[in-house]
Each structure stands twice: as C-alpha cells, then as structure tokens.
A and B are shown apart, each in its own frame.
Chain A
Amino acid sequence: MLYREAGQFKTTYSADMAIFPIRQDRVALILLLLFAFIGVPVMATFHIWPLGSDYMLRAILIPFLILALAAIGVNILVGYCGQISLGSGAFMAIGAYSAYKFSTGVHLPLAWLGTALAIPPLPVLPSILLGGLMAAVVGILFGIPSLRIKGLYLAVATLAAQFFFDWVFIRVKWFTNYAPSGSVSAPELNFFGLTVNTSIERYLLCLIFVTLFAFVAKNLVRGNLGRQWMAIRDMDIAAELMGIRPFYAKLTAFAVSSFMVGVAGALWAFVYLGAWEPLAFDINRSFQLLFMVIIGGLGSILGSFLGAAFILILPIMLDQVPHAIGVPISVETVSHLVFIVTGALICYLLIVEPHGFAKLWSIGKEKLRLWPYPY
C-alpha cells in the first residue's frame, strides 16, 4: 500500500529517466541522507544509543563507508563490465601510497637525464584525488590484457598486479620515504583550513566522498557509457557489431573502477588507519572486496553498500553476541565461531539468491508494490 507508483504519471522523458523515478525511493533516500549527515553526528555528539561510544563510528561506520566506496569501484568493473579483477587490494595500495607521496612531496632523481622530478608537498584533498588518478593509470595498464583474455584467465592476470604491488611497496623504499620499519603515517588531515580529527569529523569526510562517488557511479551506469559496459559484459560480439569499441569500453571501466578503489585506498590509509604498512592492502583485501560485490549484487550500486555492510559488520556483530547474552566462552572460540557462521551464511545466501542482496531487495520491492494482494 505504501510503496506504490500508481498515479505517478511521467510526462517527460527527463522525469522517466530521473535517477530515482519512483517518489517513495526519492523520499527514502533523502531521509537516509539526512539521517547519515545530521542524525548520526548529532547522536554521536550526545552519546545516544547505539552511538554512545566512539567505537561505533571509528570501528564500524568509517570502515563501512570506505569499503563501500571501494566496492562500488569493484562493482563497476566486475558487475557492470564483467571483467573479473583480483587486484583491487593493489589498487587501494596504489591510491594510498601515491596519496602519501604527493602529500609528503615527490622527489624522483632522474640521474640519467641530469635532473630530478620534484613536486612540493600537496594538500590532502589533491593528494587523495591524485592517488585515485595514479590508481586509474595503473588500472588502465593492467586492463590492457582484458582486450585479449576473459573470465578466470583475466582474474589470474589481475592477480599478478596484486602480488607485484605487494612486492613493490615492501621492497622499493622510495615509496615509504625510506621508513626503517616500512610503516608510514598519514599527514594531518587538513581540508581548506579545517582539520579533521575526531571520529565524527572523519565519518563526515568519508560520507561526503562516498555520497559524491555513489552518485557519479549511478550516473555513469545509467548513461551511454554504462550501457556500453553492460553490453560488453552481456554479449561482447554483439556489442562490437553495434559499434561499441571494446578497447574504449573496457579501459574506461578499468579507469573509473581503479580511480574509485584508489580513492578508497587513500581514505582507508589516511582516515581510517592513520599509520599503515603494505599488509593492509594484501590479497585478502582483494578477496574481501570481490565477495562484497558478489554477495551484495553484481551490477548494482545499492548492492555494493549491502555487500560491504554484510561482509564487514556481520563478523563484528557476531563477535558481540555471546558476550551480550552472557555465554562464557573464550575469545578464540568466539572468533572461530564467527568464521564458521559467516562462511555458512555466505553459502546459504548464494544458494538461495545467487544474485545477491540487491536482487532480494528488488524482489521485496516488487512484492511490496502488490501488497496486500497476491498479484
């Protein structure tokens, strides 16, 4: 009864092609954004449950937002363009270390040219965006094999990127400014004179990035470029015969995807971790992002958020359950149980709904439109 589009007549193509054509969706999104931008900070300021402690923001919401941004990037490549990638962790690392280098100043001695490339330290925002840009450039390079190979073989090729950059950031000391431990720390988060310090400020910073990039991604996938990506994914031969250049479609997908993943990497390092070493972006991160996208829903921006929430938050929640209900079991047992339960839930979900949470969501909306009638 509540979720019904009957009576909402669209008289222009512009209205029909709006980003959220159904009024209830628009209202729900505005409410959600209002809550995220105003409600959460207010609740955190006045310590209202469940935001009573800093923990919720610092350990759950901030990583959720950043990984959701990375998952959107991965979804553009894997879900929309159909190019499997296992190198997302590497692209996060490239974003993080490039941003670090730009923010601390780049000095690259080019001895054979008799000169040196020197860039003075940049402010944080350009550093983060340039980090994304560097990831995009490397993404294009590692996307070139996709013009020849597909599917699992491409996954192996992108895996090479993962291991290569793991190695680079450990072995090439230049990237870590010759830090003896290999660990580097983020610069002060200063945006146009405003310093981002507290968890609430960090949360808002991530929220702004995620909101902007989610809208950009949504716009891209419903436009001409998004249709080209999906055409390549669904039937590449027919797409080419329609005049779509696989070269352009695939490499733009790699570029946009790596850019978003790179920005997420820079945020992960600067805003969430603060100080990090290459292990923060190892192969497990790539798998985590890929699972988020698969479980959330391939080819869905909403699915990226749902998948990130599931993969990230479920283990944390499960971790709290025995403690909350007062079962006296050891910490190790709990962490093992979390692995078992999460794994079983993932298997169950993929059997029940192989298209992920986004599909469940759209089935739910479909049912809600008819409710309370069966059809």
Chain B
Amino acid sequence: MKADVKPKPVIAGQGVDAGEVLLAVQNVSLSFGGVRAIRNVSFDIRKGEIRAIIGPNGAGKTSMLNVINGFYHPQEGVITYKGRQRSAMRPHIAASQGIARTFQNVALFKGMSTLDNIMTGRTLKMRRGLLAHALHFGPAKREEIRHRAAVEHIIDFLEIAHIRKAPVGKLPYGLQKRVELGRALAMEPELLLLDEPMAGMNLEEKQDMSRFILTVRDAFNTTIALIEHDMGVVMDLSDRVVVLDYGQKIADGTPAEVQGNQAVIDAYLGVAH
C-alpha cells in the first residue's frame, strides 16, 4: 500500500475498523530556522498495528511524534487522524482525541505518587468541577472512586501494585518507565506513541516491557507507534517499520523488508566514500 493513499473518511466520533488507516502523515516538513528536522515525510499507521519508527540519532523520530501529538506545528504537510485533516493543534486537543504518549527521558510528575500520576491520565474523563471537588462529596467522590478502580486495573496489569503509594521521583528507572506507560494507558488512548520505551533497560526489563506492549495492543485494542533503537525488539514487536534518516524517509515496510533494504544498511553502518 502506498503511503500517500487517502484514508477512507469516517464519521467523526466513530471508530476506525481494524486494519484501516488510523493516522496518515502526508508530505510533512518541519524546520527549526535553518535546521530541517523532517523533510517531506509521508507514512500511515493502521488501526491495531504496532508501527515502529527507527533511524540513527538525529533522524527526526521524536520530532515526528511531537508533530503527531500537536507539540510541534509542521510548516508543510497534512496529518489525517480518524479521517479528519488537521495541520496545527494544541497538545491537549490531540490528547482529547485519543493520542497518548510517553517520553524518551521519563517525564513523570516527580512530586506525586505512582497512583496520582496514573490518575492524572484520567483527567480528560473526569467531569466534576471545582466546587464539587471542594466538598469531595457525592458525585465528585463517586467519580474519583470509579476512576480509581480503572486505574487499579492498569496498576495490576503493569505489576506495579507494590509501588502504588511511592513518590515516583525515588523509583528506579525501569519502574518509572512502567509508570509512564501506565499513565498513558489510563487515558485509554486509541493511538499510543512510545518514545524509546526500552532505553536504558536490561534484558529482563526489556522482555517485560515487550510483553506489556504486545498485551496492550491485543487486550486494550490500542494502536501503537514506537521509536526504539534495539533492533531485536523492533523486529520482533512491530508489524511495519518506517525508517528515517536526516529527516527523510528512506524505507517503509515489514521488518524483513526493511532489514534487507540497502539504504537502511547504509544509514546505520555508513557508506564507503
């Protein structure tokens, strides 16, 4: 399938069927002054797949995620999400449309407990206002309890029940990454963007994280786009891989296709001049 095929429009508010295009990036370019971080990149993410974005350092992978969830506004190009086109939007609107993400260097709320961090992910689903919360009575309390139950499911799933009340600033790195995944999952996102979920982890932690990612896709029916440097992980987990180098797309396909691609090998290993 060619990347620039327009996705079938769906009625706003309705879901996208499995296998159809959930998010399409078309001819996006982003530059900071003279630095062209992303040059004319197009690819799509289909509902229910694990889509890897790889490339050497500085290839524009994280910038791409920032464009997708509205943190950067591309100078050119169109992003189509769930059949609706948009160019620039505020990050919290992207969040309300079901795009969640984790960060390369953990961006947890350090002063809060694991539980509160994950509860924060439910913010968009909570409706009660200031006065109801001031009294913490009736509807506001019921709402808190309902969301607490949902959050406890995520805590169980990620096996972090023992650090539920611990302040996240003091947790080891691997657990922080897990809490961050939990916080993103609490949003019940349709599209989950993971920026190097396994950076700095040892083998067992990587295995755990891989297991969680696969389960999230299967059990929560979440579409996942992930950036990762561990090629073993990428090849095992992902359905399709897009490769960026110096802001340009150099390959797009199944892991096997990408592995055999000469341009990718050159980008990673260098070319003799």
A58 within 8 A of B: no
A237 to B92, CA, bound (A): 10
Contacts of B135 in A (CB 8 A): 216, 219
B145 within 8 A of A: yes
**Contacts A240-B91, A243-B92; A225 near B130 (Cβ below 8 A):** yes
Contacts of B69 in A (CB 8 A): 241
CB distance from B34 to the nearest CB of A (A): 24
A227 near B120: Cβ-Cβ < 8 Å: yes
B108 within 8 A of A: yes
A240 near B92: Cβ-Cβ < 8 Å: yes
Return the contact of B136 from the options A219, A230, A244 (Cβ within 8 A): A219
Interface centre among B123, B145, B148 (most CB of A within 10 A): B123
In the complex, identify which listed stretch (B111-119, B211-219, B223-231, B248-256) lies at the interface while the others stay far away: B111-119
A299 within 8 A of B: yes
B271 within 8 A of A: no
Contacts of A240 in B (CB 8 A): 90-92, 95
**Contacts A238-B103, A238-B108, A245-B92; A228 near B120 (Cβ below 8 A):** yes
Contacts of A220 in B (CB 8 A): 130, 133-134
Contacts of A235 in B (CB 8 A): 107-110
Return the contact of B119 from the options A216, A227, A241 (Cβ within 8 A): A227
A17 near B111: Cβ-Cβ < 8 Å: no
Interface centre among A219, A233, A241 (most CB of B within 10 A): A241
**Contacts A224-B133, A241-B71; A230 near B107 (Cβ below 8 A):** no
A227 near B123: Cβ-Cβ < 8 Å: yes
B36 within 8 A of A: no
B130 near A230: Cβ-Cβ < 8 Å: no
A234 near B110: Cβ-Cβ < 8 Å: yes
B101 within 8 A of A: yes
B25 within 8 A of A: no
CB distance from A176 to the nearest CB of B (A): 33
B116 near A227: Cβ-Cβ < 8 Å: yes
B124 near A223: Cβ-Cβ < 8 Å: no
Give per-residue flags for A111-122: 1 if the beta carbon is below 8 A from chain B beta carbons, else 0: 000000000000
B130 near A252: Cβ-Cβ < 8 Å: yes
B194 within 8 A of A: no
A233 to B117, CA, bound (A): 13
A192 within 8 A of B: no
A234 near B112: Cβ-Cβ < 8 Å: yes
A222 within 8 A of B: yes
Residue count of chain A within 8 Å CB distance of chain B: 33
A231 within 8 A of B: yes
Contacts of A242 in B (CB 8 A): 92, 95, 100, 120-121, 123-124, 183, 187
A240 to B96, CA, bound (A): 11
A225 to B148, CA, bound (A): 15
CB neighbors of B among A238-266 (8 A):
238-245, 252, 256
Contacts of A222 in B (CB 8 A): 136
B121 near A234: Cβ-Cβ < 8 Å: no
A14 near B123: Cβ-Cβ < 8 Å: no
> In the complex, what residue of chain B is closest to A226 when comparing beta carbons?
B133
A228 near B141: Cβ-Cβ < 8 Å: no
Contacts of A223 in B (CB 8 A): 128, 133, 136, 140, 144
A239 to B103, CA, bound (A): 12
A19 within 8 A of B: yes
A216 to B136, CA, bound (A): 8
CB neighbors of A among B29-71 (8 A):
69, 71
A241 near B95: Cβ-Cβ < 8 Å: yes
Contacts of B121 in A (CB 8 A): 242
Contacts of B109 in A (CB 8 A): 230-231, 233-235, 238-239
Contacts of B103 in A (CB 8 A): 238
A256 near B123: Cβ-Cβ < 8 Å: no
CB distance from B62 to the nearest CB of A (A): 13
What are 12 pairs between A and B in contact, CB < 8 Å?
Answer: A220-B130, A220-B133, A224-B126, A225-B133, A234-B109, A235-B110, A237-B71, A237-B107, A241-B95, A242-B92, A242-B123, A242-B124
Taking Cβ atoms with an 8 Å cutoff, the residues of A that contact B are: 12-14, 16-17, 19, 216, 219-220, 222-228, 230-231, 233-235, 237-245, 252, 256, 299
Contacts A224-B133, A241-B92 given; 7 further ones with Cβ under 8 A?
A: A224-B123, A227-B116, A231-B120, A235-B107, A235-B110, A240-B90, A242-B183
